[in-house]
Structure 1
Amino acid sequence: MASPTVAFLNRLFRRKLVLAAACVLLAFVLAALFAPWVAPYDPGALRVIRRLKPPSELNWLGTDEFGRDVLSRIIYGARASLGIGAAVVAISIAAGSAIGLTAGYFRRLDPPIMRMVDAVMALPDILLAIFLVAILGSSIFNVVFALAIVYTPRVVRVVRASALVVREQQFVEAARAIGASTPRILFRHILMNVTSPVLVQATFIFAYAVLAEAGLSFLGAGVPPEVPTWGEMIASAQQYADQAFWVVLFPGLAIVLAALSLQVVGDGLRDQLDPRLRKAL
C-alpha cells in the first residue's frame, strides 16, 4: 500500500498541467544549484567582439551588449531570483505564522495587530518595496527584507483566519482542560492544523517575490548591477531590444515560466489540500 505522501503526490501530479509546471520549476532549481557546471560560459566574461550576436551554436540564446552569453546569465540569474524568492518565503512564513497565531488566539491582541496588517496591505506592494529599498539601500539582503515586509501580512491573514476556527475546536478545548501550556497549544495543536493553507500561500508568495524582484531590478532599485538577475538583464538590455530581441525575450520568458509554474503548482496544492475542491475534482 502506498504511503500517504506517495498517494498525495500521485493525486497532485495526476493533472498533466501541474506535472509540467513542477518539471519546469525543478529544471530552474537544478540549473540554479548546478550553475557552475551547467552554464557554458562565465556569466561576467566580456567579449565585446561578439556583442549582440543572435542565437547560434556558440551561444544558444545569443549574446548581450557586452558580448556576455545570455544563456549563462539566465542560469546564474536563477540563483539570485529564485534564491531571493525562497528567502522571502521563509521569512514571511516564519514571521507571518507567529503574528497570525498571536492575533488568532489572543482576542485582545487581534484588533491592533490586524489594523497594522491592514495598513500595510493598503499600500501597493511594489511601491512599498521601492520605498523600503530606497531607504535601506540596494543589496540582496535589503531586497529580501523589503519583500518580506510586503508579503508577511498575506501570511498573517491566512494564519489568523485559520487559527480563529481551529482554536474553537474540541481538541483545543481538551488541551486547555488538561493544563497544556499556551505555547504547546499554539504550536502543537493550532499551527499543525493550519499548515495546508500556509503551504499554498507560500507558493504564491514565491511567485510574487520572483516577479517583484524582477520589477525592482528593472527599475534599478533591486540588487546591485554586478549580480545577474532576470530583471537586471532586461533593464540593462531594453535599449537594444529593437536590434537584438533575444536580450529581452529570453530573460522575460524565464520570469514568466518561473512565476507561472509556481502559480500552477500552488493551484494544484490548493485543490488537493482543500477537501471541498478535491471532492469536486
Structure 2
Amino acid sequence: MAEIVTTKPGLSEGAKFFRRFLKRKTVALGLVVIVIFVLLAVLAPWIAPYSPSKLSIVNRLKPPSEIYWFGTDEFGRDIFSRTIFAGRLSLLVGAAVVTLSAIIGVTLGLLAGFFQRLDTPIARLIDAMMAFPDILLAIALVAALGPSLVTVIIALSIVYSPRLARIVRASTLVIRELPYVEAAKALGISTFHIMTRHVLRNLISPILVQGTFLFASAMLAEAGLSFLGLGVSPEIPTWGTMIASGRQYIGQADWMTYFPGFAIILSVLSLQMVGDGLRDMLDPRLRKDL
C-alpha cells in the first residue's frame, strides 16, 4: 500500500513577519512594555487601589510603602493610581494625534506628489511649517486656541502632519512614474482609484514606521505642554502635570517626579524600539542585514 504523506500547512506571510519581528530582543521587549501600558490604561478603574482625585491631607507626602506603592503627593493623592490614569490620557492623545496627522499628512503628500501643479505650494507649506521647532509651534497654537484636550490634539496634529506629508510626497513622486501607474492611466482608470489602490497601498510601510515615531513624539510633547501648564485642566492627572507639581518637593518627596518620569521614559523608549524594528523589517535595504 502506498504511504500517504501529509505535510503541515506553512505559516502565513503575516505570521512569518511577526516571528522575524520578535526575534530581536529589543523589539520584543518594547512591544511587551507597550502592551503592559495599554493594559494598565484600559484596566485602570479596576487596578488602581484609590481614586486618582481622592484627597487625604493626613497622608500627604507619604513615601512609597505597602499601602501607597508609589507614595502620595502634596494633597495625599495616591501617585500609583494617578500614574495609571495619566497613562490613559497620554495613550489617547498619542493615538488621536497619529490618526489626525496621518489623515492630514497623507492627503497633502499624495496631492503634492501626484499633481505637479500642487507640488510647489504644498511643498513650500511643508517646508515653512517644519522650519519652526515642534514644541514652539505647539505652544503657539495651544496658546492661541486655549488649553484643552481637544486643542492639544489639534495643535500636535498640525505640528507633526508635515513629517508624514514630506515622506508621502517623496515616495509618491517616485511611484507615479512607475510602469504600472502609467498603464493604469492609459486604461482610463480614475485618478482617485489610482491614488488609493496603486499609490497609497505601496506607502503603508513608511506610514506605519513614521506613525510609531509620531506616537512617541506626541506623548512626549503632551507631557511637555502639561508641564508648562498648557495642556488639559490641572484636575486631570497627566504625567506632565505630576512632574510639574513635584518640582517644588524635590529633595523632600522625590518620588513625586520619579515615577511619572519613569513612565514617560519607558513608554517613549519602547515605542522607539518598536519603530526601529518595523523600519528594519520593512526597509529592503536594511532587511538584508538582519
Scaled by the length of structure 2, the TM-score of the pair is 0.96
Query: Aligned with 2:76: secondary structure?
Result: coil
Say yes or no: does 1:228 pair with 2:237: yes
Runs of 4+ aligned residues of structure 1 deviating over 2 Å after TM superposition are none
Number of aligned residue pairs: give it.
281
Amino acid at match of 2:287: R
Partner in structure 1 of residue 107 of structure 2: 98
1:50-69 matches, cutoff 5 A: 50-69=59-78
Partner in structure 1 of residue 89 of structure 2: 80
Partner in structure 2 of residue 176 of structure 1: 185
Verify the 8 A CA contact 2:139 2:230 in the aligned structure 1. Answer: yes
What are the ranges of 5 or more consecutive residues in structure 2 without an aligned counterpart? 1-9
| 1:174 shift after superposition | 1.1
Partner in structure 1 of residue 146 of structure 2: 137
Larger radius of gyration: 2
1:5 counterpart (4, 14, 25): 14
2: CA distance, partners of 1:223 / 1:121: 25
Deviations 1:101-155 (A, max 9, x none): 0000001110110101110100011011011001111110000000000000000
1:22 counterpart (27, 31, 40): 31
2: CA distance, partners of 1:116 / 1:67: 49
1: CA distance, partners of 2:129 / 2:285: 32
2: CA distance, partners of 1:34 / 1:77: 13
Partner in structure 2 of residue 257 of structure 1: 266
Q: RMSD of the TM alignment (CA)?
A: 0.6
Query: Aligned with 1:108: secondary structure?
Result: helix
Partner in structure 2 of residue 278 of structure 1: 287
Verify the 8 A CA contact 2:246 2:254 in the aligned structure 1. Answer: no
Query: Aligned with 1:194: secondary structure?
Result: helix
Scaled by the length of structure 1, the TM-score of the pair is 0.99
What are the ranges of 5 or more consecutive residues in structure 1 without an aligned counterpart? none
Partner in structure 1 of residue 168 of structure 2: 159
1:146 counterpart (155, 168, 182): 155
2: CA distance, partners of 1:242 / 1:64: 13
